[in-house]
Structure 1
Amino acid sequence: MLTKIYADTPDYAVVREVVQCLESGGVIIYPTGVGYALGCSALKKRAVEQVCQIKGVDSKRHTLAIMCQDLGEVAQYAKLGDET
């Protein structure tokens, strides 16, 4: 399914569909400043494996980036310290 979400006038029904897709283990493709990226829920192992398969990388040996809303959310996935 191809869908578009416009930042200035988002259709929240479409946003909910995308969220539901991610929560059910789906994989999405979204634009970035330099091209397109693959996305999925970091908590859905099978979805992460699918992203790795699409990218052609070994999920046990390759690290992937995650996006978080703020530092509070980062703490759910990583250990944070005061070291710089």
Structure 2
Amino acid sequence: MAAELIRIHPDNPEERKIRQVAECLRGGGLVIYPTDTIYGLGCDIHNAKAVEKVARIKGIKPDKSDFSFICYDLSHIADYAKVSNAGFKLMKKALPGPFTFVLWTSSKVPKLLNANKKTVGIRVPDNNIPRQIVRELGNPIITTSIRDDDEVIEYSTDPELIYEKFKNLVDIVIDGGYGGNVPSTIIDATDDTFEVIREGLGQIEMY
């Protein structure tokens, strides 16, 4: 059965639609959604079968994945990752925003994702749609970028084209307007040197 295409207002997401998406995720569904950078593909981090489906779409094994989590806010982050005081200050300055912070995992990260990995990428995007979904769901969702087959355009930006490509692989595609084509800036925050691993949309003074 083809995925449902749901239009959600990016500034004021409709509660009914957010609940519908959260219910889909709770039931093991896969959802494509906008962020403050590029469109992402995700599922509930606690649903092993859904995580495996996402990995299959990406062509990787779940325990070899580099999936990040989308959290609602900083208080959510402490449940799944270990953050130093300096790291917390930097994240407070940067988030919500176009950053992925790599942190040491806590014991709450599901074993499927944590089999061989001791770090996890954490995102709090400056976009109300994924954040409200996470808040309604009650826990983070996995996020991985939607890439384009085009050699020039690395990331898909048009939600209707994304729908056409993925409608038989996922359960819901959210149309929250055109996405960007520059990914998040990735910062290694496992220690207080805060190394930039990938330059992306986010820019911040480290200290």
User: Normalising to structure 1: TM-score of the pair?
Assistant: 0.83
Work out whether 1:46 is the aligned partner of 2:69.
Answer: no
Kindly indicate whether structure 1 or structure 2 has the higher relative contact order, using CA contacts under 8 Å at least 6 residues apart: 2
Q: Return the match for 1:66 from 69, 77, 85.
A: 69
Deviation for aligned residue 1:64 = 0.5
Pairwise CA RMSD of aligned residues? 1.8
Work out whether 1:5 is the aligned partner of 2:11.
Answer: no
Amino acid at match of 1:47: A
- CA–CA separation in structure 2 for the residues paired with 1:23 and 1:4: 20
Cα distance change, pair 78–33 in 1 and its aligned pair in 2 (3 A): closer
1:18 corresponds to which residue? 21
- CA–CA separation in structure 1 for the residues paired with 2:15 and 2:25: 15
Find the residue that maps to 1:38 and give its secondary structure.
Answer: strand
- CA–CA separation in structure 1 for the residues paired with 2:56 and 2:42: 13
Find the residue that maps to 1:66 and give its secondary structure.
Answer: strand
Cα distance change, pair 61–10 in 1 and its aligned pair in 2 (3 A): closer
Deviation for aligned residue 1:11 = 2.4
Cα distance change, pair 60–11 in 1 and its aligned pair in 2 (3 A): same
Find the residue that maps to 2:81 and give its secondary structure.
Answer: coil
- What runs of 5+ residues in structure 1 fail to find an aligned partner? none
Find the residue that maps to 2:57 and give its secondary structure.
Answer: helix
3-12 or 18-27, which moves further after superposition?
Answer: 3-12
Deviation for aligned residue 1:12 = 1.6
- CA–CA separation in structure 1 for the residues paired with 2:70 and 2:11: 21
- CA–CA separation in structure 2 for the residues paired with 1:19 and 1:5: 13
- CA–CA separation in structure 2 for the residues paired with 1:9 and 1:67: 19
- CA–CA separation in structure 2 for the residues paired with 1:78 and 1:20: 25
- What runs of 5+ residues in structure 2 fail to find an aligned partner? 86-190, 193-207
Find the residue that maps to 1:43 and give its secondary structure.
Answer: coil
User: Normalising to structure 2: TM-score of the pair?
Assistant: 0.37
Deviation for aligned residue 1:53 = 0.7
* Identity value in percent: 38
60-69 or 25-34, which moves further after superposition?
Answer: 25-34
Higher strand share: 2
